[in-house]
Amino acid sequence: MEQLTLTPIDAVRGTINLPGSKSLSNRALLLAALAEGETHLTNLLDSDDIRHMLNALSELGVAYRLSGDKTECWVQGNAGAFNVAQTKTLFLGNAGTAVRPLCAALAASQGAFTLTGEPRMEERPLAPLIEALRQAGASIECHKAAGFVPLTIKGQRLQGGEIEVDGSLSSQFLTALLMAAPLFSGDVTLVIRGELVSKPYIDITLDTMAKFGVGVDNHDYQRFDIKGGQTYRSPGDFLVEGDASSASYFLAAAAIKGGPVKVTGIGKQSIQGDIHFADALEAMGAKVVWGDDYIEVIGQGLHGIDMDMNHIPDAAMTIATTALFAKGPTRLRNIYTWRLKETDRIAAMATELTKVGANVEEGEDYIQIIPPAQLQHAEIDTYNDHRMAMCFSLVALGDTPVTINDPGCTAKTFPDYFMRLASVSHTN
């Protein structure tokens, strides 16, 4: 297995032009494929999760052209649902933003589609989405375990009506239904059961749908009304914002070491909830400067925080390793869904933070971290989870090295992460 040992970093300073947002890239690609007209996407993310979406669209007969560096894409829209004659098998890796939205869009298309993924994807929940789609008449057969991929969808025009969806395990089920609903024959009302998690991702979905000409009536995130029988319309150009979750590692590094570090491609107007990671850093004592197209952090002596992190589940992981450098305990609450992502992130985080010397308390839906007096050099297991690799790179900001096992797992969302980190790292 590949390993990377990072030697202690004495200072971080500079500017990072962020790669495009994963969440926006995959939403915009799918809606561009369903839309009438050509869409020109810029600042598209080039990473495994996006490649899986692009490969799937090719299989589905969507014509697109990528620029040499794969950050620009011209998509010829299909002007409606997909229509294929033969059964298509789509391998979607471990990309939640491909599996869930495609599952719904294909249930409302013409043809037969088998969705498969990496072993971890076969453990990540899909049952609430399958149940909701079946209420609309969808035909979905799971091949191994009920409620998981691999599965086969027999696409058909789905009827509208009132559909209940459980929102308590992932917001991606609701995102998938929202994006597919205009393809249904009749009007659709989506009613949320349970407490909706990761709410800001629904704002990303609604904003992207609006850019492709489809409005949704949002009744306080409890109920959503969408007109059936609509066709998305290409906005022409679509600029993908920088990835706010990817920004978190650089902003945290500045908070820990002083910085300043500026990330560009996101700013105070950004639609991604993860920009509010900067508020968490501010609560820990960092200074944050908000621009229209940048966020800059200047560090000060950090102290621990006790915060509900349900609104920023991905970036919240970065607070867990930032906590190693704060005075006093940090408690991250309402993070049960960490257990359902690339790995069981609460368990993985607790194990690896303990290895570097922290005193960690793990609960069903929280983690508490008491930083050690002195960080220890450890080999960090990353569990095929890009964010574990990126979060633990911050340990090198102490005065001990850190060894990251399988650093290549950052390819899911940020293939050149370690090079970018090196570009703002300085040693005396």
Ligand X SMILES: C=C(OP(=O)(O)O)C(=O)O
Per the annotation, where are the binding residues for 3-phosphoshikimate?
A: 22-23, 27, 170-172, 198, 314, 341
Q: Which of 47, 97, 208, 393 binds ligand X (CB under 6 A)?
A: 97
The interface with ligand S3P within residues 307-346 (CB under 6 A) comprises 313-314, 337
In the list ligand X, ligand S3P, none, the entry touching 171 (Cβ below 5 to 8 angstroms by class) is ligand S3P
- Helices 345-355 and 313-322: crossing angle in degrees, nearest 10, is 10
| Least distance from ligand S3P to the Cβ atom of residue 96, Å | 6
54 binds ligand X (CB under 6 A): no
For ligand X, which stretch binds (CB under 6 A), given 92-100, 105-113, 276-284, 363-371? Answer: 92-100
Write out the two tokens for 120.
């971890």
Q: How far apart are the C-alpha atoms of 142 and 174, rounded to whole Å?
A: 20
- Closest to ligand S3P by CB, 331 vs 341, is 341
Q: Does 311 bind ligand X (CB under 6 A)?
A: no
178, 205 contact by CB (below 8 A): yes
Q: Which does 95 bind (CB under 5 to 8 A by kind): ligand S3P, ligand X, none?
A: ligand X
Q: State the minimum distance, in angstroms, from the CB of residue 413 to ligand X.
A: 6
- Distance in angstroms (rounded) separating the CA atoms of residues 414 and 408: 9
413 binds ligand X (CB under 6 A): yes
Nearer to ligand S3P, 243 or 406 (CB): 243
> Residue 371 has which token pair?
């930083």
Residue 408: CB partners within 8 Å, gap ≥ 6?
A: 2
> Binding site for phosphoenolpyruvate: residue ranges?
22, 96, 124, 172, 345, 387, 412
CA dist 361 and 331 (Å) reads 9
Question: Phi/psi class of residue 65: alpha, beta or left (left: φ > 0; alpha: ψ in -120 to 50)?
Answer: beta
Binding residue numbers: 22-23, 27, 96, 124, 170-172, 198, 314, 341, 345, 387, 412
Residue 382 interface partner, choices ligand X, ligand S3P, none, CB cut-off 5-8 Å depending on type: none
When asked if residue 387 is in the footprint of ligand X (CB under 6 A), the reply is yes
- 94 counts as binding ligand S3P under rule CB under 6 A: no
Among 25, 94, 172, 382, binds ligand S3P (CB under 6 A): 172
Peptide bond into 150 cis (omega under 30): yes
To ligand S3P, the closest distance from the beta carbon of 154 in angstroms equals 26
Closest-CA residue to 388 (of 320, 307, 336): 320
Q: Does the active-site annotation cover 203?
A: no
Binding mask 183-202 for ligand S3P (x = CB under 6 A): --------------xx--x-
171 binds ligand S3P (CB under 6 A): yes
- Residue 234 and residue 35 in contact, taking contact as beta carbons nearer than 8 Å: yes
Contacts of 231 (CB under 8 A, 6+ apart): 34, 35, 36, 79, 80, 182
Q: What secondary structure letter does DSSP report for 282?
A: H
Q: Of the residues 49, 166, 243, 314, which is catalytic?
A: 314
Give the nearer residue to ligand S3P in terms of CB position, either 337 or 425.
337
- Cβ–Cβ contacts within 10 Å for residue 210, how many? 12
CA pair distance 17, 207, nearest whole angstrom? 23
Q: Assess contact for 320 and 277: CB atoms under 8 A.
A: no
* Placement of tokens 């997909």 in the chain: 82
How many residues sit close enough to ligand S3P to count as binding (CB under 6 A)?
A: 13
d(CA 323, CA 329): 8
Binding site for ligand X (CB under 6 A): 94-97, 314, 341, 387, 413
For the annotated catalytic residues, the residue numbers are 314
Binding residues (CB under 6 A) for ligand S3P: these are 23, 96-97, 170-172, 175, 197-198, 201, 313-314, 337
